[in-house]
Structure 1
Amino acid sequence: MPLTLGLIGSGAIGTSLARPAVAAGLDVVLSNSRGPETLSELVDTLGSHARAATPAEAARASDLVVSVPPTAPGSPADRALPPPIRSPHVRHPMTDSTVRIDITDLPAAVRQFLTALGTRDTTALAGILTPQASVTDEGHTHTGIPSITEWMANAASEFTYTTTPVAAERTGTHRFTLTQHLEGDFPGGSVDLRYRFTLDGTLISSLVIAP
């Protein structure tokens, strides 16, 4: 009976692990934060040795579990792991290495913030920012939700432009960078901007926007 590899996080890194595992004859259980149904296309590509599940189901069903990024202590997936796996060095990684991740695997708060920014939906900010969060844009720092709300309502309002996500990275466990390509009627016409997010738990504590 083949061993089963459970993957919690199925972006670029998880997929790069799944393909050789399937090729080697392992069964692979894929999961992410958005639900098994979002992985159907990847599962079809990998074949009969792959299936999708929730993170907790992937942890329970597998002989070996790999989490990218590591599971948060106390999360459903973490509680599903047997005690030998739920060791401190697994749950509290001490690394500041930067790795490329799939854009769809950015934290929920980051994705919600970007959606709110695109639609100027300032009502969403209270649920995704810490009370003293800061946003730095064009050299100016806006601190606190009221100040960020005002910034978001007026950000680049004099220009019309489109944004295209280009790449995403994770540094350590709480810093994420999204590079976006902007094209519009602003001076220069196009620019690549990096949105550097720092999280406190599940909430955004800092964002720096710069080339």
Structure 2
Amino acid sequence: MHDNHPRTITTDALPEVITRYLKAHHAHDTATAVAAFTGDATVIDDGNTYHGTAAIERWLGRSATEFTYTAHLTGTQQTDTTHYIATHHLEGNFPGGTIDLRYQFTLHDDLIEHLTIEP
């Protein structure tokens, strides 16, 4: 049970698995990124849901090739011991050119069980 009031934390305070996932995702290292998820993890991105590592692997592979962009971590928050938010500012050749996205993580046994990416 949590009170849904995220508090700001330093990027160093993010769990290692989230940092590892974000670095791998931005480096297009799909194998390392997928390994950060539980076997039955779910990712929701751009209104689409990807369930399980095979679907997440396909999503990561596609997002790596669809657009070219830079992402800068602009904020990190923690709601409780299993819920974290990492906000990124993206600039690139996607529609609109810039966007701020909130990566909302739910952890289970030191792995990512759920990730929602939304503005």
1:152 and 1:167 map into 2 onto residues whose CA distance is 22
The structure that is helix-richer by fraction is 1
Give TM-score, length-normalised by structure 2: 0.91
1:109 and 1:203 in contact (8 A); partners too: yes
Q: How does 1:145-160 map to 2 (within 5 A)?
A: 145-155=53-63, 157-160=65-68
Asked if residue 106 in structure 1 is aligned to residue 18 in structure 2, the reply is no
Count of matched residue pairs = 118
The structure that is strand-richer by fraction is 2
1:161-202, CA deviations, whole angstroms, 9 ceiling, x for partnerless residues? 110110000002110000000011111110100000000121
- Report the counterpart of residue 117 of structure 2 in structure 1: 209
Q: Secondary structure at the match of 2:66?
A: coil
When the two chains are superposed, the root-mean-square deviation of aligned CA atoms in Å is 1.5
1:17-64, CA deviations, whole angstroms, 9 ceiling, x for partnerless residues? xxxxxxxxxxxxxxxxxxxxxxxxxxxxxxxxxxxxxxxxxxxxxxxx
1:99 and 1:170 in contact (8 A); partners too: yes
* Larger Cα-atom Rg: 1
Instruction: Tell me which stretches of 4 or more aligned residues in structure 1 moved more than 4 Å.
Output: none
Measured after TM superposition, the shift of residue 158 of structure 1 is 2.7
Question: Tell me, which stretches of 5 or more residues in structure 2 are unaligned?
Answer: none
- Structure with larger RCO (C-alpha < 8 A, sep 6+): 2
2:36 and 2:55 map into 1 onto residues whose CA distance is 15
1:125 and 1:145 in contact (8 A); partners too: no
- Report the counterpart of residue 162 of structure 1 in structure 2: 70
Question: Tell me, which stretches of 5 or more residues in structure 1 are unaligned?
Answer: 1-93
Measured after TM superposition, the shift of residue 95 of structure 1 is 4.3
- Report the counterpart of residue 44 of structure 2 in structure 1: 136
Percent of aligned positions with the same letter in both sequences? 40
